[in-house]
Structure formats: structure tokens, C-alpha cells
Amino acid sequence: MAYHDENGKLTIDEVAANRDIRRLREAANILKDSRASIRSLRQQSTDMKGLSAQAIHEKSTEMERKLTQMIDKLEDTADDIQRVVKHYQKMDELLRRKAKKKILREKAREKTEQEAEKDLMELSGGSISKDNILGETPGGKETKKKKR
């Protein structure tokens, strides 16, 4: 269900986690069938007489209690795994949305810069560029103003 990736981070394999949940629920169902059989045996023991009937009743009551505990633990474990998977699905979705917003903001900023540069070129008749406005030469170095 979970493993450490190449960077040492714990990664949850959603498919494996869901497979584990399914197996835990299947095991709980098998135990529920066993519990139903034990209850039936205990019910039948009430029609019997003697020490055997009493022993069957006592042992079946004990087994039913243990089966119920195991069923509860399996179901709790499956529920816990499911909660963890859902939690990380929500976190992944939140991170995806944040990354998408960041990308869209960057694209909008680039587009705005490109449009501003285009407008500047149109206004200057093509003789001025963003680099000239920022004090940079086409080679990437700042121009120095001469002192008079």
C-alpha cells in the first residue's frame, strides 16, 4: 500500500490501498459468517441438556466475542486506510489546483509583459524596446549614463 520513493518520501499506492481495503472487508465478511455459525451452534445448544450443552454455550459465547473483536479491528483498519487515502487524494487535488493557478498566473504575467512590449513598440514606431526602457543593451549589460 505504501512505499518509499527514490527520494525517501513515503508514497501511498492508491490501487494497492484499495486492494488491501477490499481484502480486509472480505476477511471481515468471512469472520461474520463464522460468527453467524457460532451463534447458530449456541442457539442449538439451548435445546440440549447436560455438561456438553453448557460447555458448547460457554465456548461459543467466548468465540463470538473474539470474532466480533477481530471483525471490528479489520473494519477499523479498512476505514483508517480509506480515510488516509481520501486525505491524500484531497491534498493531491489541492496541490494540483495550486500548481495550475500558479501556471495560469505566470502565463498571464508573460502575456501582459508581451502585450506591454508590443504596445511600446507600436508607440515608439519600432525604435524602442523593453531592454532600452530597462537600461539594458541587446547584449544584456546595463548602459551607463555619462556624467556631465
For residue 106, what pLDDT is reported? 87
Tens digits of residue pLDDT in 73-82: 999 999 999 9
Q: What is the pLDDT of residue 68?
A: 97
CA distances from 138 to 111, 130, 132, 141 (A): 21, 10, 8, 8
pTM for this prediction: 0.62
CA R_g for the chain: 36
Least confident residue range of 16-20, 37-41, 124-128: 124-128
Q: Which pLDDT belongs to residue 115? A: 81
Nearest to 12 by CA among 24, 21, 1, 22: 1
Mean pLDDT of 89-117: 85
% of the chain beyond a pLDDT of 90: 44
Encode pLDDT of 42-96 as tens digits.
999 989 999 999 999 999 999 999 999 999 999 999 999 999 999 988 988 898 8
| Residue of 74 and 107 predicted with greater confidence | 74
Listed residue (138, 8, 17, 2) closest to 86, CA to CA: 17
Q: DSSP assignment, residue 13?
A: -
Tell me the pLDDT band of 104, cut-offs 50, 70 and 90: confident
* pLDDT number for residue 2: 65
